[in-house]
Structure 1
Amino acid sequence: MTDRREVAIVRWTGQAPSARDGPAELLAAYHLQTQVEKGEAVAGVDGLPDRYRVEIADPQAVFVDDVVLLALSGGAAVGCLVVTASVDGRSEIKRLWTDPAFRGRGVAFSLVSAALAHAAESGVSAVRLSVWKWRTGAIALYERLGFTVTESWDERDRLVCMERAV
């Protein structure tokens, strides 16, 4: 039987008593899967590049100026997304991840929608993101939410850069 509990989107304050309530496990899954998709699989978190390991080890410190949104189901974090602090009137969406067991339920849509609402409340003029070109489902989601492909700001050749006005 499939668990169909409601999913709530909340702003993570970093005050969670355990990783079960925070983004660490989700960030680990995101980074490990990304390495697999890039053809650079690693055996575990210890094999990830330093910049990713530190996100997993201490997301509160890494994202101190940003907003981390969590999708919660029954108290467990099942999705996450980071909205960066505004730079030059723009924020960036990063680290969108939904637990595979919760995909197809609108979790990612709800996270991105909440991120856009936060951006609007923060007064930014645009939100941008980059997504690996093989993540066609994510690209389609972003397009449904009004993002369009834009000139790249990232030197990695397999990224699609997108932006939308807020």
Structure 2
Amino acid sequence: MNGRPLSVECPPPGSLHAVPGLAALLTGYHLCTEAEKGVPVADASGLPDRYRLETEAPDRAFADAVVLVARDGGAAVGCVVVTGPAGGAAEIKRLWTDPAARGRGVASALLGAAFERAGRMGARTVRLSVWRWRTGAVALYERLGFSAVPSWDDRADLVCMERPAQGHRPAASSIAAEG
């Protein structure tokens, strides 16, 4: 990072297509995921339709969700999507940190902002699913209070986790939440 505080922004609805760096972050997430699942593709054009839609038309793909973008200075270094709440639970999806920015608190900052946003949306719990082989992500989620729960998804190798929406409060100096 460049020494400036990391900021987490919440772009206004309808503006996601114009957020610098967001499409690249979402593309990176999906290309990595497809490769880890054993079906690598060369670029976004080879992604399954529903994932390609997220990279090409995020306003449409995430019309009913909140997208948070982490910035180090002006550079987008991470993103996360918060959906819901449905049945009292918000869901976290597409948490991704640019590989060059990993190990610097970007994911924790995004998750802290996501927990706050979920609480403001009226969620009592936050849930997510993560591939079993993403052991670093599973460990991070466990450190932040997530516990494994019975799966709501029938895909093999997917771990479903939940935690209370409130409770994680990152240092105020490390996050400037907007929106």
Specify the TM-score bucket, using the shorter chain as the normaliser. Answer: over 0.9
Secondary structure of 1:85's aligned partner: strand
1:43-97 CA-partner distances (Å, limit 9, x unpaired): 1111110000000001111111110000012212110000002111111000000
Q: CA deviation at 1:158?
A: 1.0
Query: What is the TM-score of this pair, normalised by structure 1?
Result: 0.93
What's the secondary structure of 1:137's corresponding residue?
A: helix
Is 2:16–2:58's contact at 8 Å kept on the other side of the alignment?
Answer: no
Q: Greater relative contact order: 1 or 2 (C-alpha under 8 angstroms, separation 6 or more)?
A: 2
- What is residue 65 of structure 2 aligned with on the other side? 66
SS of the aligned residue for 2:85 comes to coil
Who is 2:110 aligned against? 111
Figure out how many residues of one structure are paired with residues of the other and give that number: 164
Q: How does 1:20-59 map to 2 (within 5 A)?
A: 21-59=20-58
1:10 equivalent in alignment to 2:9: yes
Distance 1:34 1:17, change over 3 A: closer
Cα distance change of structure 1 residues 106 and 156 upon mapping to structure 2, 3 Å threshold? same
- Look up the match of 2:87: 88
Query: Within 5 Å, which residues of 2 pair with 1:84-163?
Result: 84-163=83-162
Moved more, 143-152 or 115-124: 115-124
Deviation at 1:104, TM superposition (A): 0.6
Coordinate RMSD, CA, aligned: 1.5
Counterpart of 2:86, as a letter, is V
**Is residue 12–residue 22 contact of structure 1 (8 Å, CA) maintained in 2?**
no
The alpha-carbon deviation at position 18 of structure 1 amounts to 3.9
Superposed CA deviations along residues 121-140 of structure 1, whole A, max 9, x for unmatched, are: 22211110000111111111
Q: Which runs of 5+ in 1 are unaligned?
A: none
Cα distance in 2, alignment partners of residues 17 and 128 from structure 1: 26
Question: 2:16 and 2:61 mapped to 1: Cα distance?
Answer: 16
Q: What code does the residue aligned with 1:44 have?
A: D
- Identity among equivalent positions (%) equals 55
Structure 1 segments of 4+ aligned residues over 6 angstroms from their partners: none
Distance 1:16 1:123 in 2: 23
Q: Give, in angstroms, the shift of residue 30 of structure 1.
A: 0.2
The 3-state SS of whatever aligns with 2:9 is strand
